[in-house]
Structure 1
């Protein structure tokens, strides 16, 4: 929907002035403010003056794109072109008749800019988006702009100079006013800064005090861990040796005493572990490793883990079925730790009856409940049990000792996962502890982000598998500017679920996700019957393993946006894939080599002997030929001579792929014929896939250079 507005033919210097005046007038009619009018007029003047100065003639065309609401300008000439355009665009060119900054300056002033030049002339196209607050320009509005332009008379150089002088004076006045405003604001800021500096100094002092206190606490706990665990581990090991009768038999009294010592050592070890976990939660250093798991599987693991606690008890431990519940995406180890604390406490303080563990779906959360038929807890004591080292005095408490840290730690772990812990109990009637945890851990994968995107049929879809949201956002923004649409997920499970419903044109994959690695996912993607192109972007520089698992491209973080866009464009290109021809009589060798060549980048053909290879080469015109040396009928040397004698195939890159150890004269012959050598023994090396990728990229580059 591009509509013409006005054309100016550049026949003399006055026409350059007229083009500037027309540009400013049209910009004013389209609603641009004073400063934007000057920028547009300056850009048109610079490019028009270049066209007249170097080509002696040209045409300035003013247009508008109604669909995009964009003011467009084209300046074309039929001169000899710009031989040093790259130097000009880099900003390093210095013209003999000026600074050589007109083209580059115009690019900076405008929203869109492109230039095409050859020996037949130069075309410069640039545009400026219409102001958002202005009235939307349609055909009716455009007619008014054209009519108003027709009523105006072309300006003389003197008239235009006077206009420019007025614009300059107005700009200078505005600058002086802003300078005075800045001076006033700076004075106010200086006064404010003095107060802020004093406040920050006090805050820094307090923060430093808290930091030192936190460091002292962490240092104490770390030292305590080492100092306590070393003798405790020794005590546990020694008591185990004695109880195993390694130094002879024990009396029944000695056996009982040693078991008391062993039990006390275990209780102390548990207390040290709980203290350290509490300190980590308070310091914010306890990491949440979210992953997907089923409640039924969790119950199965807990049943086997806690079974030894029932060895000397008549209690029944019942886990109700949980097969109908949706999967949880959170930290399985921490959920298990909370439930273990609840269940072990229930077993300790329930002399008879049962302990029942249930789970149900409740408001996008899973609510676990551990109910017992034990002694119960009075309402006044229900607050104490969640305080560190808080314990309730009763007959069971005197018989069964605990650390008083399990329940406080459980509450903090639940809050860390975004959940909560509550209790309902009555003395003599048992207790029920509830643990409610969200289906999806909020810090890992909000469900809203996993909603399927609304696809634009004109844009290719790229799936980004990256656990860092900022990195995914950067990828998406750069790819959007290149004409792609994206969808980001943070885990392998989400990526698999997405691919089942939508097939992306390519996948950008990070290898080290938050709670998992994606090596197996890469292997699955490339092992499928219809593989999806994969660009691996990671801090892990294991190219031999990355390419060995079938990745089509690899970039090391931190990355260059241009490199990422170029790789995605290459992987999603609908152009015909370059053809690779393998001429080898050994089926195993052909299979191994094929496994190292990306099927999404190349189309691979096989020939079982030299004659079949020559026929296929003439029919297919391959981009690269892999050639074995030892073959029946025609060997590799004879096939190569036939290839080089063919006018159609003499320049085709050839790679000698053989087990033969070449003699000096053979090496000389292959070098003279520019033959690359990649021995079959190289396929056994760990980085063989990366080596083949590098070889083929080099050959492809040479082919493009020769063309």
Structure 2
């Protein structure tokens, strides 16, 4: 948009006119054309006045347009244009900055969550280590072993968190690599079920793995597939209060689909569309705030699966009837 020295709009492109929802804009005072512009929540045109005097301006991050659909953040500059040594026009150049703002907000949330989640295991390690240093001469062997086990468990938790954060970073930067080889998905699932059996027993839940002898081989990264299975099966256990989990394998158009169906409380419709986003905690969607989660597991699992030529989807979920997640990979 170009504004003359009389503060009148002389030129506006099609995009700006459509964005501003005012036509025609040419011939009108810029303050009328830009009446929905807010800077810091106010109609503040002081920078426009400075630009008309010949001083280039960059609008602050708080600049936005109000619309019936909500506020739209913008990035914008004001540039005086000279002709024969005098200011003839001022160009107001702006762009929808919604995506950049969302990205910045996600990055802030990422680092904030990383710091918050790491604080807990690091605090446990620090407290247990300090106690051992201060009282090791008076503590008995059992107490010492107990504190060392706490340090070990908290250290494992911290390493898992760091690995998750590194995986997210690699995914976002397109640097995550997968090594595709044929492997037995049924045997791998059985291995994960065995590793999580103690957690299921602790919660008094069953885990039924219906083993298929007909279709077993898939093509993918075995270690990353194990991470996906571990996340999906452990979620099914963590978010189920009664009953348990049933795991099946089915062929579908040259892909092998591993389905995990739990008898949990289900996931609310509002949460389902956000399920695979970063930091979306499944527990919140299942009305189970007691189940702890960083909200990264499903996001990472889906990205892993897609990089291997497959996918992770929520196949079905009904209130008080449980959920079914499906992990698909090409058959090998």
Q: Under a length normalisation based on structure 1, what TM-score does the superposition of the two structures give? A: 0.27
In the TM superposition, residue 371 of structure 1 has moved relative to its aligned partner by 0.6
Instruction: Identify if the C-alpha distance between structure 1 residues 264 and 398 changes in structure 2 by more than 3 Å, giving closer, same or farther.
Output: farther
Greater relative contact order (Cα < 8 A, sep 6+): 2
Partner in structure 1 of residue 279 of structure 2: 389
C-alpha separation in 2, matches of 1:375 and 1:267: 27
Among residues 200, 207, 227, which one is paired with 1:317 in the alignment?
A: 207
Q: Which has the higher strand share?
A: 2
Q: Which runs of 5+ in 2 are unaligned?
A: 1-99
8 Å contact from structure 1 (residues 419, 436) kept in 2: yes
Asked if 1:374 corresponds to 2:261, the answer is no
In the TM superposition, residue 394 of structure 1 has moved relative to its aligned partner by 6.8
C-alpha separation in 1, matches of 2:164 and 2:233: 16
In the TM superposition, residue 407 of structure 1 has moved relative to its aligned partner by 0.6
Asked if 1:420 corresponds to 2:330, the answer is no
8 Å contact from structure 2 (residues 267, 319) kept in 1: yes
Q: Which runs of 5+ in 1 are unaligned?
A: 1-209, 441-707
In the TM superposition, residue 238 of structure 1 has moved relative to its aligned partner by 4.5
Partner in structure 2 of residue 528 of structure 1: none
Partner in structure 1 of residue 321 of structure 2: 429
Among residues 177, 185, 193, which one is paired with 1:295 in the alignment?
A: 185
C-alpha separation in 2, matches of 1:248 and 1:311: 33
C-alpha separation in 1, matches of 2:126 and 2:194: 23
Partner in structure 1 of residue 139 of structure 2: 248
C-alpha separation in 1, matches of 2:322 and 2:258: 17
C-alpha separation in 2, matches of 1:237 and 1:295: 42
SS in structure 2 opposite 1:385? coil
Partner in structure 2 of residue 349 of structure 1: 239
Among residues 160, 164, 173, which one is paired with 1:270 in the alignment?
A: 160
In the TM superposition, residue 317 of structure 1 has moved relative to its aligned partner by 1.2
Instruction: Identify if the C-alpha distance between structure 1 residues 374 and 297 changes in structure 2 by more than 3 Å, giving closer, same or farther.
Output: same
Among residues 297, 317, 325, which one is paired with 1:406 in the alignment?
A: 297
Residue deviations 1:389-442 (CA, integer Å, cap 9, x gap): 1125378632221111001111111111111221110111111001111124xx
8 Å contact from structure 1 (residues 295, 322) kept in 2: no
8 Å contact from structure 2 (residues 313, 325) kept in 1: yes
C-alpha separation in 1, matches of 2:215 and 2:231: 23
C-alpha separation in 1, matches of 2:153 and 2:267: 26
Q: Which runs of 4+ in 1 moved over 6 A?
A: 261-265
- Work out the number of aligned pairs and report it: 212
Residue deviations 1:480-529 (CA, integer Å, cap 9, x gap): xxxxxxxxxxxxxxxxxxxxxxxxxxxxxxxxxxxxxxxxxxxxxxxxxx
In the TM superposition, residue 267 of structure 1 has moved relative to its aligned partner by 4.8
Partner in structure 2 of residue 282 of structure 1: 172
Instruction: Identify if the C-alpha distance between structure 1 residues 427 and 267 changes in structure 2 by more than 3 Å, giving closer, same or farther.
Output: farther
8 Å contact from structure 1 (residues 236, 265) kept in 2: no
Instruction: Identify if the C-alpha distance between structure 1 residues 420 and 286 changes in structure 2 by more than 3 Å, giving closer, same or farther.
Output: same
Q: Under a length normalisation based on structure 2, what TM-score does the superposition of the two structures give? A: 0.54
In the TM superposition, residue 375 of structure 1 has moved relative to its aligned partner by 1.2
Partner in structure 2 of residue 332 of structure 1: 222
8 Å contact from structure 1 (residues 350, 375) kept in 2: yes
C-alpha separation in 2, matches of 1:363 and 1:307: 32
Residue deviations 1:632-687 (CA, integer Å, cap 9, x gap): xxxxxxxxxxxxxxxxxxxxxxxxxxxxxxxxxxxxxxxxxxxxxxxxxxxxxxxx
* Cα RMSD, aligned residues only: 3.9
Residue deviations 1:171-204 (CA, integer Å, cap 9, x gap): xxxxxxxxxxxxxxxxxxxxxxxxxxxxxxxxxx
8 Å contact from structure 2 (residues 124, 154) kept in 1: no
SS in structure 2 opposite 1:397? coil
C-alpha separation in 2, matches of 1:251 and 1:396: 39
C-alpha separation in 1, matches of 2:216 and 2:142: 55
